[in-house]
Amino acid sequence: MEVNGYKIEPGANLENAYLRFANLKGADLTGANLTGTNLEMAILENANLTGANLTGANLMGAYLTGANPTSAELSGANLESANLTWANLWDANLRDANLLDANLKAAYLMGANLTGANLTGTNLEMAILTGDDAAVDEFEDVDWKYLYDDAELYGDAELSDDLDLGDGESDSDPDETVE
């Protein structure tokens, strides 16, 4: 598959590539180098990004529904307003990523590193989140409706900045709203 003159294939070196608005639906980019790549508004529905390096990539408004960025490197990536519904982000590194207003509904985030990530306005309804690295710095306006943490349902939880998700434990009753 070739898009905008770039060969789209497993292990491809697409560092700093310009793929804005590209249709990469179902593409296999396993282990690809997408460091600094502009994927703004790109369609990556059901794309395989397993082990891909997307450090500092611009995925603003990208459509990643059903994508598989398992073990992907997304540190410092811009995922503002991206749609990651049903995405498999197992063991992905999202350290310092911008997920402002992103949609992570029913996303699988087991073992994902969210340290320093901005989740302001992010929808995490029905998301599955756990792991020692699942610490988040920004909780403002996050929709945590029906958050699953290590197979425990937390209902309509409203989380505050002092809640530590790092170990899947909290000092509060999961059925209570945290003020």
Asked whether residue 5 is assigned to any structural domain, the reply reads no
Nearest-5° Cα angle at 76, 65 to 89: 35
Residue 124: what pLDDT?
A: 87
Average pLDDT over residues 66-90: 97
Q: State the CATH number of the domain containing residue 53.
A: 2.160.20.80
Asked whether residue 1 is assigned to any structural domain, the reply reads no
Backbone angles phi, psi at 62, to 5 degrees: -70, 150
Residue 169: what pLDDT?
A: 42
pLDDT, one tens digit per residue, over 96-115 is 999 999 999 999 998 899 88
Residue 10: what pLDDT?
A: 98
CB within 8 Å of 162: residues ≥ 6 apart: none
Asked whether residue 125 is assigned to any structural domain, the reply reads yes
Do 37 and 58 form a contact (C-beta atoms < 8 A)? yes
Asked whether residue 86 is assigned to any structural domain, the reply reads yes
Residue 89: what pLDDT?
A: 95
Percent over 70 (pLDDT), the chain: 72
Total number of domains constituting the chain: 1
- Residue 105's nearest CA partner among 70, 129, 72, 133 is 129
pLDDT, one tens digit per residue, over 129-163 is 765 444 444 455 555 554 444 444 444 444 434 33
Residue 26: what pLDDT?
A: 97
Is the pTM above the cut of 0.95? no
Reading the block at residue 131, the tokens are 């792991």
Domain that holds residue 74: 23-168
According to DSSP, the β-strands at 6-7 and 108-110 are: unpaired
